[in-house]
Amino acid sequence: MQALRRWLSLLRNWCLGDQMTRSILLIIGGGIAAYKSLELIRELKKRGIGVKAILTKAGEQFVTPLAVGALTGEKVYQDLFSLTDETEMGHIELSRAADLVVVAPATADLLAKMATGLANDLASTTLLATDKNVLAAPAMNVRMWHHAATQRNIKQLKSDGVAFVGPGEGEMACGEYGLGRLAEPLEIAAAIDALLAPDDLPLKGKHVLITAGPTREPIDPVRYISNQSSGKQGYAIAEAAVRLGAQVTLVSGPVSLPIPPGAGMIPVQTAEEMLKAVEQSLPADIAIFTAAVADWRVASVAGEKIKKRSDGKPPTLSLAENPDILRSIATRKNGRPKLVVGFAAETENVITHAQEKLTKKGCDLIVANDVSEEQGVFGGDANTVHLVSKSGVENWPKLSKAEVATRLMQKLSEMA
């Protein structure tokens, strides 16, 4: 009871406290993804986070000081040797006035300067002078990212305590494909939120990865196989984890729910996309798999809409098994999250099946729920769950999904 009261007080202080006064110094480097820093500023302002920005000389080639200034509502700092800037707010003061320094996009050049301690312009001097935590969101061409020099710099910076978000994998502006894309503004904002959370929140500094919703496996360009998962339980867990100070990545299939404030979101459609997004989001301290992943996909997706046949015969769909996301993460040799939690939706013998799943998948905890029609779990707001682990079964009463989420995250934060 005392522990619960402490939690409530921590949460209240955080929610009602000084959120409006949280502020960051955003350093915008000269990368093609610099335009996304504008979206990031808007997202941070929505969260009540103040933003002062430094625009590098190269950054100015991609976004204008006018746009950055209009969105931050603040002066934009560009020149180390500006007498006016120095009299208003010197570079040392600028480096320490904010609660966190964020470099987005972090160019290969800025990362190299940070790793070697160069200080030959306003951005690099500020980064060397700061006494605050630094978060870097790298963005560059795939070959620049994989270059031994960049990887050496990243390793050095990680050991110096610099936090990273991204980069992601995908199509690049230069037409190549691979790792090096700037993390999405929502993901960066979630990482910032987590780093700004008060130190005494129980999941501060922890990365919680959550999957939610159904997957959608295409049959042809207009049809798909899916299921009735609403995503409500996973989204509620994401909210609870954010409230406890975690950096949250939510990998979600198609649902009609708003993105939980403070969570980073990766939208996916298919099971294969979900696995890839999960793998790219590692490392994580806790991984919670609530998504209702389709067991099968259509082996060969038709390129055109399948037409009705004149002989009245229906088409034959041959299915292929989808990857087992929970098992593949829970049994990883390298980079397994400390806690791997699976959800089991069962319509009969709920506990027995959950115990079998616990062993078969190699996870630490199974949250089992009865999704038979009379329970109304799919799409509903309540859930009756049983926590199955090697040490036994905990039966929880019927609770709202929000309450299940809060209790589960409290429990996991004590175990993590």
Ligand X SMILES: Cc1cc2nc3c(=O)[nH]c(=O)nc-3n(C[C@H](O)[C@H](O)[C@H](O)COP(=O)(O)O)c2cc1C
CB of 109 to ligand X, least distance (A): 4
Here's the x/- map for ligand X, 304-343, by CB under 6 A: it reads as ----------------------------------------
Instruction: Tell me how far, at minimum, the Cβ of 107 lies from ligand X, in Å.
Output: 3
Listed ranges 95-103, 139-147, 306-314, 356-364: which one lies at the site for ligand X (CB under 6 A)? 139-147
Q: Return d(Cα 227, Cα 286) in angstroms, integer.
A: 26
Contact letters (x/-) for ligand X, 246-265, by CB under 6 A? Answer: --------------------
Query: Using CB under 6 A, which of the segments 28-36, 152-160, 219-227, 273-281 binds ligand X?
Result: 28-36
- If binding is defined by CB under 6 A, does position 29 make contact with ligand X? yes
Is residue 72 a contact point for ligand X (CB under 6 A)? no
CA-wise closest residue to 289 among 323, 261, 256, 244: 323
Q: Which helix (H) or strand (E) holds 281?
A: helix 271-281
Q: Does 30 bind ligand X (CB under 6 A)?
A: yes
From 90-98, 102-110, 283-291, 321-329, span contacting ligand X (CB under 6 A): 102-110
Cis peptide before 267 (omega within 30 of 0): no
Write down the least CB distance from residue 113 to ligand X, Å. 7
Are the C-beta atoms of 326 and 292 separated by less than 8 Å?
Answer: no
Per the CB < 8 A criterion, the answer to whether 350 and 359 are in contact is no
Judged by beta carbon, residue 33 or residue 358, the one nearer ligand X is: 33
In the complex with ligand X, the residue whose CB is nearer, 172 or 186, is 172
Among 10, 22, 31, 207, binds ligand X (CB under 6 A): 31
DSSP code string of 37-90 = HHHHHHHHHHTT-EEEEEE-TTGGGTS-HHHHHHHHTSPEE--TT-HHHHHHS-
Q: Does 168 bind ligand X (CB under 6 A)?
A: no
Among residues 138 and 231, whose Cβ is nearest to ligand X? 138
With 0-12 CB in 10 A as exposed, 13-18 as middle and 19+ as buried, what is 126? Answer: buried
Quick one: 107 or 413, whose CB is closer to ligand X?
Answer: 107
Query: Total residues contacting ligand X (rule CB under 6 A)?
Result: 15
Does position 139 bind ligand X by CB under 6 A? yes
How large is the C-alpha radius of gyration of the chain? 23
In eight-state DSSP terms, residue 11 is: H
Question: Which of 23, 37, 56, 355 is the binder for ligand X (CB under 6 A)?
Answer: 56
Please pick, from the candidates 11, 58, 97, 317, the single residue that binds ligand X as defined by CB under 6 A: 58
- Contact between residue 225 and residue 294 where contact means Cβ atoms under 8 Å apart: yes
Report the C-alpha gap between 105 and 35 in whole angstroms.
9
Does residue 76 bind ligand X (CB under 6 A)? Answer: no
Q: CB of residue 165 vs ligand X: minimum separation in angstroms?
A: 16
Nearer to ligand X, 31 or 245 (CB): 31
Residues from 104 through 123 that contact ligand X (CB under 6 A): 107-110
Looking at residues 33 to 52 of the shown chain, list those that interact with ligand X (rule: CB under 6 A). Answer: 33
Is 383 a binding residue for ligand X by CB under 6 A? The answer is no
Evaluate whether 313 touches 363 at the Cβ level (below 8 Å): no
Check if 363 is active-site. Answer: no
Cβ proximity to ligand X, 11 vs 118, nearer residue: 118
Nearer to ligand X, 144 or 382 (CB): 144
Q: Among 55-63, 290-298, 332-340, 385-393, which window interacts with ligand X (CB under 6 A)?
A: 55-63
Q: Exposed, middle or buried: residue 295 (CB in 10 Å: 0-12, 13-18, 19+)? A: middle
Residues whose CB falls within 8 Å of the CB of residue 167, separated by 6 or more in sequence, listed in order: 137, 138, 139, 140, 145, 179, 180, 181, 182, 183
Helix H or strand E segment including 109: helix 108-116
331 three-state secondary structure: coil
Does residue 383 contact residue 377 with C-beta atoms inside 8 Å?
A: yes
Contact (Cβ atoms closer than 8 angstroms) between residue 111 and residue 154: yes
The half-sphere exposure of 318 on its side-chain side, counting CA atoms within 13 A, is: 2
Active-site annotation holder among 3, 173, 174, 393: 174
Tell me which residues touch ligand X (CB under 6 A).
29-33, 56, 58-59, 107-110, 139-140, 144
Residues annotated as part of the active site: 174
